């Protein structure tokens, strides 16, 4: 009799081990997720709040003082969105002798859509701004103006809706 086992006897003792394949599949999936997240992060836009944020930070106390002066006014400024006519109505108290001012429309999710315009109040202390051409969604309206050498600041959130 032959002492060496035959081929059919050798294969019956060897069992398939899934661990090397499971580890290989896990590493392939892990690296696939890492590469996918890296590509997604590299393609996404990141906007800073303002290009001159450092200069604005240095003037932050002035903005706080201007906002507290605005809060102490007897009649607060109003920012009203009229969706029927697609306009923003800004109203400052009657009798305020505004010597200069600015209206900033700030879009939190896309800095390319931000708009700045001079404050141009009529005799009743109101200004109407058309919202045609502005993207539907959340906007922040920032008002800053000067009366008798004192600066004032007011900020309001507005959600623009599709026109009726």
Q: 54: which DSSP letter?
A: H
First CA to last CA distance, the chain: 98
* C-alpha dihedral sign at 38, 39, 40, 44: positive
The CATH architecture assigned to 53-160 reads Sandwich (2.60)
Cα–Cα distances in angstroms (integers) from residue 17 to residues 2, 26, 30, 151, in the given order: 30, 16, 22, 77
Please give the model's pTM, rounded to 2 decimal places. Answer: 0.66
Residue, of 124 and 30, whose pLDDT is higher: 30
Residue positions counted in the chain: 164
Q: What is the pLDDT of residue 121?
A: 87
**CB-based burial label for 146 (10 Å; 0-12, 13-18, 19+):** middle
Reported as a single tens digit per residue, the pLDDT across 68-125 is 988 888 888 999 998 888 899 999 886 667 788 899 999 888 888 889 999 988 888 8
């Amino acid at each position: 009799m032959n002492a060496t086992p035959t081929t059919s006897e050798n294969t019956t003792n060897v069992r398939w081990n899934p661990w090397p394949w499971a580890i290989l599949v896990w590493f392939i999936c892990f690296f696939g997720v890492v590469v996918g997240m890296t590509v997604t992060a590299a393609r996404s836009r990141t906007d800073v709040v303002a290009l001159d944020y450092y200069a604005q930070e240095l003037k932050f106390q002035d903005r706080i003082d201007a906002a507290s002066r605005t809060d102490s006014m007897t009649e607060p400024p109003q920012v009203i969105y009229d969706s029927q006519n697609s306009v923003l109505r800004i109203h400052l108290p009657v009798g305020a002798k505004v010597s200069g001012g600015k209206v900033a429309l700030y879009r939190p999710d896309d800095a390319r859509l931000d708009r700045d315009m001079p404050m141009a109040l009529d005799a009743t202390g109101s200004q109407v701004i058309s919202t045609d051409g502005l993207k539907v969604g959340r906007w922040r309206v920032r008002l800053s103006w000067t009366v008798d050498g004192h600066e004032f600041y007011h900020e309001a959130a507005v959600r623009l809706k599709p026109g009726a």
